[in-house]
Amino acid sequence: MTNQDRKKKLKWQLPFLALLIIGTIYIIKNHHETPYQKNEGMIFGTIYHLTYQCDSSLQNEIVSELQKVDHSLSPFNKESIITRVNNNDSVLLDSMFLDVFNLAKEISKNTDGAFDITVAPLVNAWGFGFKNTDSISQNAIDSMLQFVGFNKVWIENGKIKKQDSRTILDCSAIAKGYGTDVVARLLEKKGIQNYMVEIGGEIAVKGISPSKKRWRIGVNKPTDDSTNTNNEIQTILNISDIAMATSGNYRNFYYKDGKKYAHTIDPKTGYPVQHSILSSTVLAKDCATADAYATAFMVLGLEKAKLILDKHPEIQAYFIYADENGKNQIYFTPKLEQMIQK
């Protein structure tokens, strides 16, 4: 065989050799593809579910981070910072408490006080909080409104200061979202690019799911369900690199003397809201923000919520509300349409 013949033969063999190498690399890569881990457990009185792409489980580190949030922000934890604040102890605030307090103050300002973490006495009085009272009256509400209001509490030299010692804080409408963010940040510090963190329905997602697609997250139909067993889906959102939270009055409510009382309390009136929004789903860059705005929009009602959304294009929302005939209708911000599964 001449040198020219050898060159011709080699010329034809090289592409096949290249394909063989590429194919081998592909097979090896997929054979050793990083698996997805799944963790679940209980925190903040609710269940959490995590799915993330990692060689090994990070459950212990995740639980440790969630316990830090609990120690800072749980009113059910007798040793937590927020409990000591509510007991008027002189306690130095940690970074988690400061993060949540400052974000809550910002969102309170943006929503004209509709989001207010000092509303706890009223929530408790109506039977939805971490303490319950047996009866409620207009006089009792008027009395509590004297020490409810975010303008009556502030931070000074790393400690909480109160205008009235009876003011107490409850971060339950933002803490689950914040806890979700804390776990998401831990995963990102570990270099994890694909994950879904869900704590009690508050969610943060990044990258792709195990099916190599965007994460498919359902929005429940707002059917009265105090047992939390109805999971009928209204719609599915295909999302990535975003956080999502939902607030609604269809699971935490009771009837008394033929009237329905739901857990969302208007900080200005002291009464459970009676607006048409049944379910408020918000998408934002972080879950604490989404969590707080979802609650605020339940307080504000549809028309006022739309006005705030116009001022904050970085926030997306999906509302299920009852029209004047009592039929369920849907409103969502324009940018959200591309996320809705057809």
How does pLDDT run across 20-78, given as a tens digit for each residue? 666 555 544 444 589 999 999 999 889 999 999 999 999 999 999 999 999 999 998 99
Tokens of 41: 């457990």
Q: What sign has the CA pseudo-torsion 285, 287, 289, 291?
A: positive
DSSP state string for 228-243: S----EEEEEEE-SEE
Q: Domain 213-339 class?
A: alpha beta
Any idea which architecture 36-162 has in CATH? Roll (3.10)
**What per-residue confidence (pLDDT) applies to 224?**
54
Give residue-wise pLDDT tens across range 64-90. Answer: 999 999 999 999 899 999 999 999 999
Residues spanned by CATH 3.10.520.10 within the chain?
36-162, 213-339
CA distance linking residue 70 with residue 77, whole number of Å: 7
* Nearest C-alpha neighbor of 76 from the set 129, 133, 19, 123: 129
What integer best gives the mean pLDDT of the chain? 86
| Helices of type H across 230-324 | 287-300, 302-311
Which stretch of DSSP H or E encloses residue 260? strand 259-262
Give the residue ranges of the chain where pLDDT is below 70.
Answer: 1-32, 128-135, 223-230, 249-263
Q: Which residues of 36-68 are buried (b: 16+ CB within 10 A; e: fewer)?
A: ebebeeebbeeebebbbbbeeebeeebeebbee
Place of tokens 């009464």: 271
Torsion of CA 117, 119, 121, 122, to 10 degrees: -150
Choose among 229, 213, 211, 210: nearest CA to 221.
229
